[in-house]
Structure 1
Amino acid sequence: MADILSSQARPQEDATITVRIIKSFKFRTERSLVLHHLNLKTTTVAQLKELAKSAIATQPGWKPYRTVSLDPDTLKLYTKAHGSKTSNLIINLDHDDWILNDEEKPLSELGFENETEVSFFNREDYEAFKLNPETSWDV
């Protein structure tokens, strides 16, 4: 029997993905939200954003992420299962084409599969960090 990759072990109608909610690029603060039983064929980019915002607003342990300054508005693919990861610990600064701009597109059409990781952040903060990608740890 051939080995099945974990990205293919679950159907796209019942996937698990991780949303890396970034609070601060400078201080490298992020927290992972794991979403189980997600239908990648019907869940859109806009719906994924709402799921994450709802979790931040209602789930225990997310109080530090409920600040007005956080205001995440952008999703960007971080990595797929068994894919290479960036050397930047907070976000991949290359591949701006991985930013999910089409709010109505289903996640499966954007290449999502089981165990995909995506970053959720404030676009204005991201653009500023790209211009000066120093973290408090680099000083």
Structure 2
Amino acid sequence: MPSYTDFSDVLTNVARPRTSAIITIRIIKSFQYRTERSLVLQDLNLETTTIGRLKEIARQAIQTQPGWKPYRNVTLDTLKLYSRAHGAKTTNLIINLDNDDWILDDDSKTLAEVGFENETEVSFFNRELYEAFRQNPETSWDA
């Protein structure tokens, strides 16, 4: 049986195969109030799961799992990369406002094709609310 020290030199983004990754989806209800909840998906196959399928999985979890009732009335239509394991994170606590090329618009591409790896974090939100927040990125906590 391997011990903890056997894996000390293995980076977490390659510690699991692409066919069994752990992904965190940051479900954003409100940018203004920084209302967000994380959905952790385990054993996700990045080579076969498409962006469209990931959206479906998240929507289904919100509709069926306990604790998600406040999020059930939000229209979620857009995924955007938040961070990768061992990568730089944004200073904005709710979403990465930089890198609009990180918005995942092609629902037919697999997660592996767009660069997902183990421990990738992605934001799932309403695109219209996101665009409004980009124009005026103030939160109620700033007042």
What TM-score range do you get, normalising by the shorter chain? over 0.9
Q: 5+ residue gaps in structure 2?
A: 1-5
For residues 1-139 of structure 1, the aligned pairs below 5 Å read 3-67=9-73, 70-139=74-143
- Alignment deviations for residues 36-74 of structure 1 (CA, whole Å, 9 cap, x no partner): 00000000000000000000000001011111xx11100
Q: How many pairs does the alignment contain?
A: 137
List per-residue Cα deviations over 1:80-106 (Å, max 9, x = no partner): 001010000000101000000110000
Counterpart Cα distance in 2 of 1:9 and 1:94:
28
Query: Under a length normalisation based on structure 1, what TM-score does the superposition of the two structures give?
Result: 0.97
In terms of Rg, which structure is larger?
2
- The ranges of structure 1 where at least 4 consecutive aligned residues each deviate by more than 6 angstroms after the TM superposition are none
- The letter for the 1-side match of 2:102 is W
